[in-house]
Structures are given as structure tokens and as C-alpha cells.
Amino acid sequence: MYDVIVAGAGPCGCTAAKILAEKGMRVLLAEQRSLPRYKSCSGVLIRKSLNLVQKLFGEAVPDTAFCAPAQNRGMVFTDDRGRSFVFEQEGRNVWRSAFDGWLAEKARAQGVQLADGTLVAGCEENGKFVSVELRGKKNGTENAKYVLDCGGCVSVLKNRLTGGAGDYITTYQTFSDGKIDLDPHYFYAYLQPELSEYDAWFNVKDNRLVLGVAVKNTEKTGAYYERFLAYMRRNHGLSIEKQLREERWRMPRILPGCAVDFGSGRVLYAGEAAGFLNPMGEGISSGMESGYLAACAVAGHPEEPQTVLAEYQKSAEPLRSYMVRQWSLVAGMADTFPEMR
């Protein structure tokens, strides 16, 4: 019998598992893919994320997780009228495979049992415990007092429990050799509706140009991407010599009110699985913080599921309010997200 089975070994799941083990609980951290696993992401750690790493893991992010340029100086937003706004803030540029892998090893060192290549495919509550179906390297049924789903909007477990994949945004980005007239120390977000159905972006990782667009309708991906390339050529001197790879991902579509699903009974959600996501897809800080809060609630009242859920909801309200303010800020800069004002 595990105290908690955590699904998903990203920043959210690794944080939750590490904190639970630190508090003396027997924890299984299951990750669908083989570790170190990669996620399509900007890989920019904002100051809030860096502070959370220092606070919850006891040390700074190691140099081995960084990519060049290691220092991120902030974000540059371009609104729907072509006006640019610079938000200066110290951050770090990482590869998610290296960063997430480091977090997973920190959790393992705390006593977490780590099972990669293992999918949490389903679960069923049985009174005082949950029967959990595992598929992959670790196969079969395990029991736990709680299940914490940190698998994002692509979570097989949540989609199976709720009967659908929910509302989401599809991202498409490419890595290329080439040149551009932009400072590589910043992350650039473009809110013009002609360039995407959410946002388009540019940043640099190990001298590779990363260009992406987000869409609601995947059939329009190619058209938006080509428009974005033309815009970058026209306005920033983009010149692509060779495209190296392309990747697609999904993230939850945040709706007015920023509703969060904390779960029910002995099955809880955190991170993107719960609906925590800041503008421009920044989910690392909210994932780590919600994972921490869920873990503290479980460890504080392990025999009282209703109290756990209530405590988790109460402690996470400032985080949800922060998300609402962030969305309101971006919505006030452009008409791209009018419903979020």
C-alpha cells in the first residue's frame, strides 16, 4: 500500500512526490515516458520558478540543465497593433529533459520510488484506498491512499475519469539553424491574431532558432506558421538555413474565470491537469506550487479526504488569483484575449 501514487514526473509531479516523501510518506512516482523525458516547452524558468526550486529542493538549478544563452532577461510582448512591451526579469534557459530529469533524481534521493515507462491508466476508489491500474515497465494494480494526477492536459488518467480530453490549445514549433536580428536573451511573444489563434513565439536554445505558433484548429497550423515566418523575415531579418526538427504539444485552454479542477475524494489534480497555466504557456511555476500545496494537504490530513480537498482548495486560492491577474494583464495589452479581462 502506497500512501500516494503520483502520475507524471514533470516539475509538478516531482515536487509533489519529493515533498510527500520528505514528510515520511511512501510514494510511487509514475512517468509514462522513459526518463529523462522531454516536453515541448519554452524552457524558460522565470524568477518565481527559480525561487521555488531553491525553496523546495534546497539548491539552485544546476548548470547541466542550462542551454545557451543560459541567462534569460525577460519577455517581449508584441500586441495586436504591433506595439512591443518589454518585461525585464532575470530567468534561466533550460532543456526540459535535463531540468525535469534533475528534479526526478532529487525526488528519488528523498526516497520516492520512481517508475518511468509506466502509465497510470486508470483508478477506482475502494473505501479507504484507491486501486490504480499501471501499464508498462511496472505493470498491474497497486493500491494507494491517494492518487495525485500531475500529467497535464494530456493525462490519460484524468481524461479517462472525466470522459474527455477537455478544451485545449495545440502548439507547433520548429528548431532551425539560421540568423535573426533579435537579442537571444529574451523570449518573444506575438499576439497578432493573423499570426496564430493564441500566440506565436520566438526564442533561442543552444544557437537554434525556435519559432512556434499555437492554434485551436490544427488544420490551420501550416498557414499560421508560414505567416509567422514571413512576419519574422519582414520585421526581424529571419533567415533559416536548415530546419532541424519540429514538435507538437497540447496545453489547456484557459477560459474566463480561470476555473480549477482540484479533483474529488482520494484522487486529486495539480498543475495543468487541474487547470493551472499562466499566459504564454508558463506552467512550470504554477505546476511546482500546486504540486507542493496538494502534497502538504495530503500529508497534513492523510485520513481525512474531505479535509485534504478543502485544505488544498483554500491554500491554492492565492495561486489561482495570481493566474487570474496574469491573464487580465495580458488581455489588457491586446484584443487577442478579450474574454479574459
| Spatial distance between the Cα atoms of 227 and 196, rounded to a whole number of angstroms | 9
Q: Per the structure block, which three cell numbers stand in for 246?
A: 519540429
Minimal CA–CA distance to 60: which of 13, 103, 11?
A: 103
Global confidence as pTM? 0.95
Strand partners, 86: 76
* Rounded Cα distance, 289 and 97, in Å: 20
Along the 341 residues of the chain, how does pLDDT read in single tens digits? 999 999 999 999 999 999 999 999 999 999 999 988 888 899 999 999 999 999 999 999 999 999 999 999 999 999 988 999 999 999 999 999 999 999 999 999 999 999 999 999 999 999 899 999 999 999 999 999 999 999 998 889 988 988 776 688 999 999 999 999 999 999 999 999 999 999 999 999 999 999 999 999 999 999 999 999 999 999 999 999 999 999 999 998 888 888 999 999 999 999 999 999 999 889 999 999 999 999 999 999 999 999 999 999 999 999 999 999 999 888 887 777 777 76
Q: Which grid coordinates are listed for 263?
A: 479533483
* 282, β-bridge pairs: 278
Q: Check: CB of residue 192 under 8 Å from CB of residue 82.
A: yes
Sign of the dihedral through C-alpha 316, 317, 322, 327: positive
Question: What are the φ/ψ torsions at residue 126 (nearest 5 degrees)?
Answer: -130, 75
Give the cell for residue 161: 475519469
How high is the pLDDT of residue 337?
A: 77
Q: What is the pLDDT of residue 147?
A: 98
pLDDT of residue 165: 61
Alpha helices in 256-304 (DSSP H): 284-300
Q: Quote the pLDDT of residue 166.
A: 67
Grid cell in block for residue 196: 496564430
Separation between Cα atoms, residue 55 and residue 146, nearest integer Å = 25
pLDDT at position 313: 98
Element of type H or E holding 11: helix 11-22
How many whole angstroms separate alpha carbon 332 and alpha carbon 111? 45
Residue with cell 522513459: 34
What φ, ψ does residue 92 adopt, rounded to 5°?
Answer: -135, 150
Tell me what pLDDT residue 332 has: 83
Question: What values do phi and psi take at 31, rounded to 5?
Answer: -125, 130
d(CA 326, CA 60) in angstroms, rounded, equals 25
CB 27 within 8 A of CB 17: yes
Q: Could you count the other beta carbons within 10 Å of the beta carbon of residue 140?
A: 8
Angle at 89 between CA 38 and CA 231, to 5 degrees: 70
